[in-house]
A and B are shown apart, each in its own frame.
Chain A
Amino acid sequence: MASTQQLKSRIRSVKSTKQITKAMQMVAASKMRRSQDATKSSEQYVFSASELFAYLAGQGATNDHPLFQTRPVKARLLVVIASDKGLAGAFNSNIMRKYLEILREDDRQHVHNKTIAIGRKASQFVSRLKDTEVLGTYEDLPDEVEGAQFHAILNTIVSHFVDKETDEVDIIFTRFKSSINQIAVRRRLLPAGFSAETEVSEDVQEATFEPGANEVLDAVAYRLVGAQLYQALLDSRASEHSMRMMAMKNATDNASDLVDDLTLEMNKARQGAITQELAEISGGSEAMK
């Protein structure tokens, strides 16, 4: 059995670890709340844009637009969104697993693969891979996602697709379903399509276009693609924070358990020492008689 001294110092160190994980949990919780709000507020925009877009598609306006061209897939661009920091449970490893799956599938079908990595963990990961061409890595995106870097990423993606250097663009990100449920998903970004579930509301049915359907489509398409990327980034961020919160909560709970166990063990050791000492004293006094 370890000595009381050793146990004491272990308890102390576990306790201070617990304090740190507890603090990280709190920080993650408040950040999660903020990014959750941000995700919610952009939802309406994306929804309205896709509604408009579904209508345009219904009119056949999308057929010749460069952002909507479907081509046989020879090259694929993957946008991988991970975090800058670790200690967020399975957040990054889920994304990487999903990413590797797609890489392998592309390899089998001889699709040339390119990657844009967002987040330090993603860029570290892709830099070790051989079977993908890295177009760019972006690290330390500010909390306010909308900015110069965001437009740089978006422009790279769009121009790459329009120049026919890639035939499909997918984003791999973590979808924030609820604060306890997040899953790594893959979503088609380009060629822009719309999900069948978007229904056209009646008010836009008979609208005229000014100056013309194509100009409107241009404005909508670019924004819709941007909004989708934007939402993926926000979703990812909210997921990261909530997964970190859960991971830190587990760590804090584990530390508490460990402290309990160690305290019990220490008390046993102390009792044992006292009993032994007593036995020695009484044994000694017996011998003196």
Chain B
Amino acid sequence: MQLQLITLGGVKVDEEIYSVVVPTVEGEISIYPSHMPLITVAVPGMLIVRKNRQDTDDDLEYFATSGGVVEVSGKRVKILVDEADHGEDIVEAESQAALERAIKMRDEAKDQIELEKAHQLVDRHMVRIKVADLHRRRRRC
């Protein structure tokens, strides 16, 4: 099954994989080869990729993604999102600082728009930290 992870910044992943877990508006879905054709809306969250069938949980790859659209056909999964970061590329300390800034912004928000934006930022950085954490833990053992 071909996975294409496409963002505004470029194509992040374009390779053969075994399965992928995508957060969607209807909840998390796992996609395996020969999944029925489907188009759905992805929400900000964590993307989990298993490359080979016999891979253990330690070999999983994680991405922190923003919302977007998922297009599934029997032999291809195409995920269009605004942003996606591989666990490896996320610097935890930076994200931690960004999260603190976002929380501060949320607490000090003056109007609804600001609050909305701060909420989004908080969610986003939480996911990033989680992804980075998972990535680190898996690589260690």
Contact = CB atoms under 8 A, between A and B. Distances in A.
Nearest to A49: B80
A211 interface: yes
B73 A210 contact: no
B67 A44 contact: no
Contacts of B36: 208
A204 interface: yes
Given A203-B75, A207-B72, A44 B40 contact: no
Contacts of B24: 210
Contact of B68 (A203, A204, A223): A223
Contact of B8 (A45, A207, A208): A45
A18 to B, nearest CB: 38
Interface in A176-197: none
A48 interface: yes
Interface string B2-13: 001011111100
B121 to A, nearest CB: 11
Contacts of B6: 44-45, 48
A49 B36 CA distance: 20
A208 B71 CA distance: 10
A215 B78 CA distance: 18
B1 to A, nearest CB: 12
B25 interface: yes
Contact of B73 (A49, A207, A209, A230): A207
B82 to A, nearest CB: 7
Contact of B37 (A44, A204, A230): A204
B11 A44 contact: yes
B137 to A, nearest CB: 30
B38 interface: yes
Contact of B71 (A44, A207, A223, A227): A207
A17 interface: no
A220 B69 contact: yes
Contact of B9 (A41, A48, A211, A215): A41
Interface size on B, as a range, is 20 to 34
A223 B69 CA distance: 9
Contacts of B25: 210-211, 215
A113 to B, nearest CB: 28
A35 B96 CA distance: 30
A247 interface: no
Contacts of A218: 41
A146 interface: yes
B76 interface: yes
A219 interface: yes
A175 B139 CA distance: 45
A187 B68 CA distance: 24
A254 interface: no
Contacts of A38: 9
Contacts of B39: 52, 204, 207-210, 216
Contact of B40 (A42, A209, A223, A230): A209
Contact of B10 (A44, A49, A206, A220): A44
Top 6 nearest A-B pairs by Cβ distance?
A41-B10, A203-B73, A207-B37, A210-B40, A219-B41, A207-B39
Interface of A: 38, 41-42, 44-45, 48-49, 52, 146, 203-211, 215-216, 218-220, 223, 227, 230
Given A207-B37, A211-B41, A218-B41, 10 more contacts: A44-B6, A45-B7, A48-B4, A204-B71, A207-B73, A208-B36, A210-B24, A211-B25, A219-B41, A223-B69
9 contacts: A38-B9, A42-B8, A44-B11, A49-B69, A204-B37, A210-B24, A218-B41, A219-B68, A227-B8
